[in-house]
């Protein structure tokens, strides 16, 4: 998730100077990795729960506690992965790593990192003010943003329907006002499933929705790794945050919770 540290910086998020409008073609053949979420429970051979910063608090001043393998917050329901954010207070005795958060949610990370190829994640998003869903990729280890970050989809509830795609590197990131990205309006983002797509190649990264590119960034800038660190496999992340410097910029509507992010499937074709 984009690491916003000042609310004012959010105004520049998803700059449209890298907007694109071109077809995106889903590969034919069997995906190299897929989860159709058609079982009875989350397949923990494919996913792990990230709870690493519950006690100290998450980045961006987010307000959620990420639960581990708790059906209230992450489950398979009607053939989809449901990540649910709730307004609730937990018990320190039952949840020793609880940091006093007033909201619970979940963050799933792929067990295996993936690299160049085509990704498609079919998702229906939450729209409550204070919600912050994301589908993104981040490498393990190293310092942010030096190792890079790929945000396939982010949306904040206070601006429901505006979907952001963004890249971050040491040379191009929001702290310098140089992040590369684009945004697009999807009126039915919260009422219907849409296919959020990433075509990751050595020479360019293209992100789109429903077979149409919305952002393209080419590997054509000087600077070496600082400009283009996207050369090794990254972990794929699905999460629903609450509040924070961007998600909570206009407050949190407690009456809108619980909020649900539903993921119909995740598919990846290795290139």
Catalytic residues: 149, 154
**DSSP labels for 208-261?**
EETTEEEEEEES--SSGGGT----S-BEEEEEEEEBHHHHTTT---GGG-SEEE
Cα distance between residue 180 and residue 166, in whole Å: 6
Residue showing tokens 């795609």: 165
Shortest CA distance to 83 belongs to which of 254, 265, 264, 239?
Answer: 239
Structure tokens given for 226: 């600082």
First vs last C-alpha separation in the chain: 25
Q: Could you tell me which residues come within 8 angstroms of residue 95 by beta carbon, excluding any fewer than 6 positions away?
A: 65, 67
Cα distance between residue 99 and residue 241, in whole Å: 15
């Amino acid at each position: 998730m984009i690491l916003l540290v000042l609310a004012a910086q959010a105004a520049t998020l998803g700059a449209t100077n890298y907007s694109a409008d071109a077809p995106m073609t889903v590969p034919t053949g069997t995906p190299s990795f897929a989860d159709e979420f058609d079982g009875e429970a989350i397949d923990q051979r494919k996913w792990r729960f990230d709870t690493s910063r519950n006690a100290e608090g998450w980045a961006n001043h987010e307000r959620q506690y990420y639960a581990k393998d708790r059906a209230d917050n992450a489950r398979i329901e009607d053939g989809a992965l449901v990540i649910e954010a709730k307004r609730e207070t937990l018990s320190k005795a039952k949840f020793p790593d609880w940091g006093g958060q007033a909201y619970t949610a979940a963050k799933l990370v792929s067990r295996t990192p993936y690299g160049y190829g085509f990704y498609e994640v079919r998702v229906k998003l939450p729209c409550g003010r204070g919600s912050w869903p994301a589908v993104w990729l981040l490498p393990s280890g190293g310092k942010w943003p030096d190792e890079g970050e790929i945000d396939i989809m982010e949306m904040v509830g206070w601006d429901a329907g505006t979907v952001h795609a963004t890249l971050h590197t040491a040379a191009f990131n929001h702290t310098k006002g140089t992040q590369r990205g684009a945004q697009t309006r999807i009126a039915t983002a919260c009422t219907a499933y849409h296919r959020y797509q990433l075509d990751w190649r050595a020479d360019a990264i293209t992100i789109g929705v429903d077979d149409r590119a919305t952002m393209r960034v080419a590997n054509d800038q000087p600077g070496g790794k600082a400009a283009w660190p996207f050369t090794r496999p990254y972990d794929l992340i699905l999460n629903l945050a609450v509040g924070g410097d961007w998600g909570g910029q206009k407050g949190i509507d407690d009456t809108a919770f619980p909020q649900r992010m539903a993921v119909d499937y995740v598919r990846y074709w290795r290139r």
